[in-house]
Amino acid sequence: MAKYMLIMRGTDESNAALLAGFEELAASTYKYIEDLVKAGVFVAAEGLDDARQGVVVDFSGETPVVTDGPYGETKELFGGYFLLDVASKQEAVEWAKRIPTVTGAKIEVRRVAGDDETPLETAGSGLESNGQI
Helix (H, G, I), strand (E, B) or coil at 53: helix
- Smallest gap from Cβ 34 to other proteins, in A, equals 8
Least distance in angstroms from the C-beta of 31 to other proteins: 8
Size of the site for other proteins (CB under 8 A): 20
Binding flag, residue 32, other proteins (CB under 8 A)? no
Phi, psi of 3 (to 5 degrees): -90, 140
Task: Give start and end residues of each alpha helix (H) in the chain.
Answer: 12-20, 22-38, 89-97, 119-122
Give which of 117, 119, 42, 30 is closest to 86, Cα–Cα: 42
Residues 6+ apart with CB under 8 A from 66: 55, 56, 57, 58
Q: Which of 5, 43, 56, 102 binds other proteins (CB under 8 A)?
A: 43
Q: How far is the CB of 117 from other proteins (least distance, A)?
A: 11
- Does residue 1 bind other proteins (CB under 8 A)? yes
- Choose which of 7, 41, 84, 107 interacts with other proteins (CB under 8 A): 41
Choosing from 23, 46, 49, 115, the residue that interacts with other proteins (CB under 8 A) is 115
In angstroms, rounded to a whole number, what is the distance separating the alpha carbons of residues 121 and 2?
16
Question: Which residues here bind other proteins, judged by CB under 8 A?
Answer: 1, 37-43, 85, 87-91, 93-95, 114-116
